[in-house]
């Protein structure tokens, strides 16, 4: 049984797990404990054959995730400022949470209410499907705290989702993007009332979980790999490989 403090994990239906960022008193901001637990969580999911789909959300009424917990960061700043290796390790660990989400074989449906800022925004970007409430808002807040505007995989993910033109503006200015703007940019899948977020996500997850789990995993892998493909030929090679694998797998099952 997986047990966590700053996050929670439960199986809510066959093949469907619910991950909740569970620090509502701190806007679900990422501190050292949450960083440790999310690293462990995503590592376990890599080899989890029972979970087909993951729903991700933030606890409480305030919002999805305010990003990095600045109180925790300031408390540890002195220990890191004179140690370049420790500072780099901390930065690398934070950014690679988003890589871990992309590497997870399960599709991730993220439910967003209120603010998703900084690392919280990157969690949204690293998800596969984004369902939001009308009060959702997004901010690449990195530049607002004296850091570069390209952080936590945002400079990789955001231009690929909405195009480079608006991505430049969002990362340079660090201003909030409203739910309506997110819709117009094609950033999200759908908008529903806040009270309908979970039911909408669960309904979608059930439809996905009804499919062959290998189909879901290979589809996610193909989409992610083909975002970086050098051309159509590479994309077709990935699709061809997956279809043959699935055809063979189906044939093997039918003879057992």
- φ and ψ at 111, to 5 degrees? -105, 125
Query: What's the average model confidence in pLDDT over 210-221?
Result: 93
DSSP state of 212: -
Strands lying side by side in the sheet with 190-191:
7-13, 16-21, 53-58, 108-112, 129-132, 190-191
- pTM (predicted TM-score): 0.91
CB contact at 8 A, 205 and 11: no
CB-based contact 74:32 (threshold 8 Å): no
To the nearest 5 percent, what fractions of the chain are helix, strand and coil?
55, 15, 25
Higher pLDDT, 154 or 247: 154
Ranges of each domain in the chain: 7-209, 213-255
Closest by CA to 109, choosing from 203, 211, 226, 227, is: 203
Over residues 23-63, the pLDDT tens digits come to 999 999 999 999 999 999 999 999 999 999 999 999 999 99
Nearest to 41 by CA among 23, 66, 25, 20: 20
Q: Which residue has the tokens 């199986």?
A: 11
Q: What is the pLDDT of residue 82?
A: 67
CATH architecture classification, 7-209: Alpha-Beta Complex (3.90)
Q: What is the mean pLDDT of residues 151-179?
A: 92
**pLDDT at 10 (0 to 100):** 97
Rounded to whole angstroms, how far apart are CA atoms 144 and 249? 50
Contacts of 45 (CB under 8 A, 6+ apart): 51, 54, 104, 105, 106
Contacts of 238 (CB under 8 A, 6+ apart): 221, 222, 225, 226, 229
């Amino acid at each position: 049984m997986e047990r966590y403090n700053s996050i929670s994990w439960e199986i809510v239906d066959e093949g469907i797990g619910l991950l909740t960022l569970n620090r509502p008193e701190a806007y679900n901001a990422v501190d050292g404990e949450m960083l440790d637990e999310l690293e462990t969580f995503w590592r376990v999911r890599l080899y989890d054959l029972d979970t087909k789909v993951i729903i991700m959300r933030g606890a409480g009424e305030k919002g999805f995730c305010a990003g990095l917990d600045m109180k925790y960061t300031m408390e540890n700043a002195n220990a890191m400022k004179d140690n370049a290796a420790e500072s780099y390790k901390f930065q690398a660990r934070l950014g690679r949470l988003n890589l871990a989400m992309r590497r997870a074989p399960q599709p991730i449906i993220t439910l967003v209410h209120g603010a998703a800022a900084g690392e919280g925004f990157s969690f949204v970007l690293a998800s596969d499907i984004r369902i939001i409430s009308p009060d959702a808002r997004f901010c690449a807040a990195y530049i607002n705290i004296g850091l570069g505007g390209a952080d936590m995989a945002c400079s990789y993910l955001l231009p690929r989702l909405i195009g480079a033109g608006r991505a430049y503006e969002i990362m340079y200015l660090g201003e909030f993007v409203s739910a309506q703007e997110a819709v117009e940019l094609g950033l999200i899948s759908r908008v529903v009332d806040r009270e309908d977020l979970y039911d909408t996500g669960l309904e979608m997850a059930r439809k996905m979980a009804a499919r062959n789990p290998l189909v879901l995993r290979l589809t996610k892998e193909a989409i992610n790999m083909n975002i970086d493909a050098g051309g159509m030929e590479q994309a077709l090679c990935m699709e061809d490989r997956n279809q043959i694998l699935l055809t063979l797998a189906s044939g093997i099952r039918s003879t057992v």
